[in-house]
Structure 1
């Protein structure tokens, strides 16, 4: 369930131009593969830091040497580098929650041991609390992405180089209606999203200063813009809505076999098809275009939930994985989650995620919002009850129960732990909040 990224190697393949009708058919067939939920995946991103002094920036040379070492470490998960040097592990599709947990845990142990020998470690945070964006990877994809995202302000560079997340991947669900049906799971992913944002918010700082948001990472996605990071409307059939969204989303780049890639401004994929300029788009261009869209829920055959901040602690990522798996794959818990979040839908004002009031409140206030707190408590309690039915071990169930007690039941999230030593600096935080937008 990893995010395959090509830097132009497939530009000579699939040379035949695609039509709008072909794009709609391809998107419908590829992005929503339905059937009984059987597999689960997770993508965990980490900031890499110096063990002896975490606030000291890691030089590009040290990062390159560390990644060279990691390439020799046998892993079951796919290991990739993010533009700012963040490390990402993408699990293979797992047949159960515990298979996913055990696989990624073993891979992370191996990665940490290899990094420790080089004096490096991993930090789980939704946004780097100390360092400014600094791009480590110099590849055509990221050159083009930087040019494209710079047009909407500095949020894109922060997203590329200083953010990290826990992305949970669940199957799209049954074709038939019901708690595990495709349309129900698509709706639930978007309505449960703000609850997950609030419960796992862990990015309140930039440059050591409060931003005024508990999930600054979510704020950055909102500032990138609806065309690149927004969701389609939820009031229509998911396949049709996503196909239209893909066609009407702006093209990030036109790849070339040699030389820098072209970065058009304001050109949608639909307009590219109709104009055929600078060259007609192909199936390979469509496949690539979809990887440049970053909605909070991305259909890729499965559903990729992208709204969860990276979590603190070596095993912090297990809690959002387990909670999400329980609420999607256990029928009783899925029904409870659906009933719980349904009243929250009124606060979206029928605006697409994440640019509606509910998502904004979740990112800014976290579980300080009473309705989000109440919903989170109900969802976590349902997850704790469901996990044994999914074969979760006591270690996983107890971790979720402990998180419920430490954070959710108290209306807190990991961001509060980072802010506690800085309480009383709200005025400085408000000033920094303005700096992000300028």
Structure 2
């Protein structure tokens, strides 16, 4: 499987892991890129149920249909489990959520064009198969047991391990969708600054993009049920990483944390070996019980990092992970927000100033309150909406300073319009869905699929 198979010489010590991560730094801003990822739920137009992998109109048929546009298949055994083309990929989450992992691009105009092209291709194939796709943070009608599991070996291991660590891990795997953006850093110090901003402000981004107010056909009392799920998935690998805010934080501290997060698997010779709960640190010493005497390769380390799920995480870039999946326009708004906040020196400084005196207790309180209360969650005598307004303002200023045009007189601030409306009205996507459910839909949740499908 691409990106997992071990390769190269064995890793001999921890320093190699630190150097590998540090090598991702791009000192020249001209080399910084934007990688947008989004997941979406497929559903059958006839009956609105989830889509299995097999069958004439299943997920495999979707992948096969997309090959006409030039996508190349990635196989696991005899199953197509992903597609690749020009630095981008289409992959499957455990419950069949369709994910576009976009190529690293220079501007949000480009990344939004990529998203639009992808959704048009998906629409073309889906119509032929009698399928639809919708962007939400949580599957609004399906029970956990109704969701088919995709044929990927790593997911079998995760499904067995998740219930040992939290009660909602399987819901995370099978019934959630997200949108995230991957961004570069110039140096270790720049990485540390961006991670502090990313983690402190991630709950506010969650509130801005909150879009999962339904469970099994009814309101669930949450703005972002997806965010709530992460609070009871696996405490070893999730959360706001308090150590990031400590003096001296850098690549070494992140590597030390990652070394002690229990592993899921090791990939060897076309198969996944279950090492769930075992230590990468022991692997580094050649003492992994499942592979005695064997040491890891950089491919093993890279794969292990993909199994860590904090609100923002470091690989050779930083991933902003706090937003629910959502409508078409918000797929472009998420990268616009974070690029505006952290790709401009003045904006990054403004964000650091905004969060400078926030305590660890306040950050955790925000994370705990936002899933249910969203923009109305209290903070320092005001609400999260007050912080969200300031965030959107800072992002707007940062994008204006970037001055990345579209060749027709527009800059990247156009992609913030949907967020400007949110902070002006105080209404999140979840609020809009609930108002429709209680109003024009008259409690008929099936109307959601008709009105909000891509």
Corresponding residue for residue 47 of structure 1: 41
Counterpart of 2:365 (choices 357, 360, 363) is 357
1:143 has 2:180 as partner:
no
Counterpart of 2:104 (choices 87, 93, 96) is 93
1:24: how far off?
4.2
Consecutive unaligned residues in structure 2, runs of 5 or more: 71-84, 440-454
Partner SS state of residue 67, structure 1: helix
Corresponding residue for residue 350 of structure 2: 336
Counterpart of 1:261 (choices 273, 284, 291) is 273
Contact 1:48 1:123 (C-alpha < 8 Å) held by counterparts: yes
Q: In structure 2, what is the Cα distance between the partners aligned to 1:20 and 1:395?
A: 43
Q: In structure 2, what is the Cα distance between the partners aligned to 1:381 and 1:4?
A: 40
1:296-345 CA deviation, whole Å, 9 max, x = no partner? Answer: 21212111111111112x332111111111111123333333333335x2
Corresponding residue for residue 120 of structure 1: 131
CA 1:282–1:188 in structure 2 vs 1: closer, same or farther (change >3 Å)? same
Q: In structure 2, what is the Cα distance between the partners aligned to 1:379 and 1:418?
A: 24
1:401 has 2:407 as partner:
no
Q: How do 1:148-187 and structure 2 match up within 5 A?
A: 148-175=161-188, 181-187=190-196
CA 1:203–1:22 in structure 2 vs 1: closer, same or farther (change >3 Å)? same
1:287: how far off?
2.5
1:376-408 CA deviation, whole Å, 9 max, x = no partner? Answer: 101112323443443255485345234322x22
Contact 1:34 1:182 (C-alpha < 8 Å) held by counterparts: no
Corresponding residue for residue 51 of structure 2: 58
Corresponding residue for residue 207 of structure 2: 198
Partner SS state of residue 129, structure 1: coil
Contact 2:205 2:322 (C-alpha < 8 Å) held by counterparts: yes
1:205-245 CA deviation, whole Å, 9 max, x = no partner? Answer: 22123333211111222211221223531214121221111
Partner SS state of residue 122, structure 1: strand
Q: How do 1:234-253 and structure 2 match up within 5 A?
A: 234=244, 235=246, 236-253=248-265
Contact 1:14 1:282 (C-alpha < 8 Å) held by counterparts: no
Contact 1:191 1:342 (C-alpha < 8 Å) held by counterparts: no
1:161: how far off?
1.7
Which shifted more, 384-393 or 234-243?
A: 384-393
Partner SS state of residue 384, structure 2: helix
Q: How many positions carry a matched residue from both structures? A: 402
1:4: how far off?
5.8
Partner SS state of residue 57, structure 1: coil
Corresponding residue for residue 326 of structure 1: 340
Partner SS state of residue 290, structure 2: coil
CA 1:259–1:318 in structure 2 vs 1: closer, same or farther (change >3 Å)? closer
Q: In structure 2, what is the Cα distance between the partners aligned to 1:337 and 1:207?
A: 38
Counterpart of 1:108 (choices 102, 111, 119) is 119
Contact 1:253 1:264 (C-alpha < 8 Å) held by counterparts: yes
Contact 1:48 1:121 (C-alpha < 8 Å) held by counterparts: yes
CA 1:253–1:402 in structure 2 vs 1: closer, same or farther (change >3 Å)? closer
CA 1:46–1:258 in structure 2 vs 1: closer, same or farther (change >3 Å)? closer
Corresponding residue for residue 73 of structure 1: 69
Taking only aligned residues, the RMSD between alpha carbons, in angstroms, comes to 2.7
Consecutive unaligned residues in structure 1, runs of 5 or more: 425-438
Query: Structure 2 length normalisation: TM-score?
Result: 0.80
Q: In structure 1, what is the Cα distance between the partners aligned to 2:236 and 2:97?
A: 25
CA 1:141–1:340 in structure 2 vs 1: closer, same or farther (change >3 Å)? same
Query: Structure 1 length normalisation: TM-score?
Result: 0.83
1:215 has 2:217 as partner:
no
Q: How do 1:274-289 and structure 2 match up within 5 A?
A: 274=285, 275-279=287-291, 280-283=294-297, 284-289=299-304
